[in-house]
């Protein structure tokens, strides 16, 4: 029960089903696809597992009339984290009504028995964090946290103080997810000072910061840029440089870093292409899925798949998404391959240093340099599972799109 809030007698809080990735698949599909199935994500105690399990975080406007039903429907289709947006997606004159609708929606969802995704509210200012926490009734039980837009050295202290107050009001773990997107963070001459100050702020609240999100759309707007769907964010050099510095300051694997999620991919419709598709034909031919490749290309999902791969290569996990069609792509590429799992288990099973050939006999595993990678890979395996030997991302993506 929320501290200081009397729940109406007719409201019955029911035990929520545990969250689990790929629960939309049948038992037969799960056995065919997975060597190790994803774990249920229960409670909020394991911050690292919870952050890794965010996967594709789908944003939805708080003004959507059928908000509760939309959240339930998306959860059944495999969405495991959602943000109820009170900021950019809501017109100024509708903010008060949107806040009320968000609170009512969370209260309604708390009375159900089906699994809800991790739910966050993106606020406009720190005051709203405290206001909404005070207004929540039973819905506090299904709220995972708040998203803080335009978080920087100036705005950050007030957001984190508001988060501390929200935890006291709700009397349960509540997480914050800062979005790094401000112009003073993007500008080269102020970036290092900003990131150093942000790192200190977040370190002081480590247990309450779930993940750091990157707002690439606002970063692009600093230069009057809108990237084309034929390009990834890493082709936009001024923004790619900012992402690299964010990872450098905040994504270190020495215990001082945080999970950093990838920026939004904003395209989802057919268009005339200038460049060749980014998706090779061979994997789809091997899986007898040539028509499925054509579908992905027609929906601009080949660019998304490329960007997710580059996210991972640059130390980023999970992604902000604005369309349900993007979720399967993010999650399919989050599954740990059988080869990755074999390497990670090999590395973590050796207490001393050294070098040895991998189980697949196609690379060398260096026990000390690769240990951080191996540990993070095994956390991802808990959240997203491990594919069976011979199962590719094409097999996973095909099953998810058709589920």
Tell me which residue has tokens 């390497």.
343
- pLDDT value, residue 7: 39
E runs forming strands in 322-384: 355-357, 364-366
Neighbouring residues of 233: CB distance < 8 A, sequence distance ≥ 6: 216, 227, 239, 240, 243, 263, 307
Are both 230 and 343 inside the same structural domain? no
Domain that holds residue 365: 339-384
Calpha distance 133→96 (Å, rounded): 15
The reply to whether 398 falls in a domain is no
Are both 259 and 350 inside the same structural domain? no
Are both 376 and 308 inside the same structural domain? no
Are both 122 and 248 inside the same structural domain? yes
Are both 354 and 322 inside the same structural domain? no
The reported pTM is 0.89
- The count of domains in the chain is 2
Are both 223 and 289 inside the same structural domain? yes
- pLDDT value, residue 319: 97
Calpha distance 298→141 (Å, rounded): 40
Query: Six-digit token pair at 199?
Result: 């790192």
The CATH number covering residue 163 comes to 3.20.20.60
Query: Six-digit token pair at 303?
Result: 């660019």
Q: Which of 292, 317, 334 is the last residue of a domain?
A: 334
pLDDT digits (tens, 9 = 90+) for 344-400: 999 999 887 889 888 888 898 999 999 999 999 999 999 999 999 999 888 998 899
Are both 290 and 178 inside the same structural domain? yes
The reply to whether 19 falls in a domain is no
Instruction: Spell out the alpha helix ranges (H) of 206-337.
Output: 216-221, 237-250, 282-286, 290-298, 301-313, 327-332
Are both 135 and 230 inside the same structural domain? yes
Region 196-210: mean pLDDT is 97
Calpha distance 31→22 (Å, rounded): 12
Cα Rg, the chain, nearest whole Å:
21
- pLDDT value, residue 287: 56
pLDDT digits (tens, 9 = 90+) for 218-236: 999 999 999 888 889 999 9
The reply to whether 15 falls in a domain is no
Region 248-273: mean pLDDT is 86
The reply to whether 20 falls in a domain is no
Calpha distance 267→300 (Å, rounded): 7
- pLDDT value, residue 41: 87
Are both 89 and 184 inside the same structural domain? yes
The reply to whether 399 falls in a domain is no
Q: Which of 297, 318, 334 is the last residue of a domain?
A: 334
Per DSSP, the three-state class of 265 is: strand
Return phi, psi of residue 273, to 5°. Answer: -95, 140
Return phi, psi of residue 147, to 5°. Answer: -105, 130
- In order of 120, 311, 331, the CA distances from 201 in angstroms are 21, 25, 31
Region 18-44: mean pLDDT is 92
């Amino acid at each position: 029960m929320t501290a200081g809030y009397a729940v109406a007698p007719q409201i019955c809080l029911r035990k929520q089903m545990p969250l689990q990735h790929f629960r939309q698949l049948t038992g037969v599909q799960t056995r065919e696809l997975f060597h190790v199935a994803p774990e249920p994500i229960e409670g909020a105690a394991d911050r690292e597992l919870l952050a890794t399990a965010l996967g594709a975080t789908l944003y939805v406007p708080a003004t959507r009339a059928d908000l509760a039903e939309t959240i339930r429907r998306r959860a059944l289709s495999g969405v495991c984290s959602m943000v109820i947006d009170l900021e950019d997606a809501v017109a100024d004159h509708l903010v008060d009504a949107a806040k009320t609708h968000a609170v009512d929606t969370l209260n309604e969802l708390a009375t159900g028995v089906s699994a809800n995704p991790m739910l966050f509210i993106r606020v406009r200012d720190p005051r709203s964090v405290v206001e909404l926490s005070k207004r929540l009734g039973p819905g506090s039980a299904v709220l995972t946290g708040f998203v803080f837009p335009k978080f920087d050295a100036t705005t950050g202290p007030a957001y984190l103080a508001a988060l501390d107050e929200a935890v006291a009001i709700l009397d349960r773990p509540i997480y914050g997810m800062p979005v790094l997107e401000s112009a003073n963070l993007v500008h080269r001459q102020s970036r290092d000072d900003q990131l150093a100050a942000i790192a200190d702020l977040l370190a002081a609240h480590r247990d309450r910061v779930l993940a750091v999100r990157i707002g690439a759309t606002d970063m692009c707007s600093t230069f009057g840029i809108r990237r084309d769907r034929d390009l990834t964010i890493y082709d936009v050099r001024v923004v790619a440089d900012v992402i690299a510095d964010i990872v450098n300051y905040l994504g270190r694997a020495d215990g001082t870093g945080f999970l950093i999620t990838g920026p939004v991919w904003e395209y989802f419709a057919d268009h005339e292409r200038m460049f060749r598709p980014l998706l090779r034909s061979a994997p789809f031919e091997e899986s007898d899925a040539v028509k499925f490749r054509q579908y992905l290309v027609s929906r601009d999902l080949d660019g998304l798949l490329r960007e997710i791969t580059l996210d991972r290569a640059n130390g980023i996990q999970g992604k902000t998404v604005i369309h349900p069609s993007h979720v399967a792509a993010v999650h399919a590429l989050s599954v740990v391959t059988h080869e990755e799992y074999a390497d990670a288990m090999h590395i973590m099973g050796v207490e001393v240093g050294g070098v040895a050939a991998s189980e697949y006999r196609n690379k060398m595993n260096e026990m000390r340099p690769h240990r951080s990678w191996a540990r993070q890979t095994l956390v991802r395996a808990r959240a997203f599972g491990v594919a069976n030997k011979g199962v590719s991302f094409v097999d996973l993506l095909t099953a998810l799109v058709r589920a």
